[in-house]
Structure 1
């Protein structure tokens, strides 16, 4: 069984390498289905990629993590996918697989930044807003304008 898993992981890697040049939706779907088969983690209505990237980010960033915090939605007018809190930083992460929704969400968060900064957990901490999405010129320009960070969803999903 372990040999089969290694073989499938190798196939996933090879498909990802091939798709760097092709950028095929069908190949991305095949990769996603193989990852679902291997890791079988999918949360609710979210895509596997969304759930998978969230798990990867939880391991990447250190500190306390709040996932889909309903309490924060009341204060911020949006519900972050992940909120990381450590000694020096408050990191709000949005994972968005759709470019248009990403742009709209950036606007919404920007309009509510005053609420983010007024949270008691923001006191004496650097606030970082990170969007994990597909790299796109419009998204990168808007993120730079709003002083948000962008991570490539496919890089984070590796």
Structure 2
């Protein structure tokens, strides 16, 4: 009997909490998030939902500061300071300093644009990159922990390639 009354009290408290939450969120209010996007409370009988576009955080700032277009990814391949640590994927492009990425998790994906890439040093992950030259798309397997010639240095015609995707797996 004690167990039953404890369950009833718990359910009653949970219901009261849910009703209080509904009352607090039933109004229409808007607020701005840290990135400037407007967030609006859901109205009506159904709760709102979040949509993740997998856009790279602060991509506009990175483009302005470093000239690198970071589009979207799964959050497991992150721009890193090349001086910070070992174990990074390192990219060399003509007219740019070295660009590095840290990989976390079991796999990763990043869509980006870095023009005139000619060498990539892999890390401990298996990595593949997609590059474009004109309307042609090429895939290169990146060797682990050594430099791999890609783009113009891996092209018999020496054409300038743009790095557009990085994919990694353990």
Query: Could you state the TM-score of these two structures normalised by the residue count of structure 1?
Result: 0.32
- Structure of higher CA gyration radius: 2
Structure having the larger proportion of residues in helix: 1
Structure with higher strand content: 2
* TM-score, length basis structure 2: 0.30
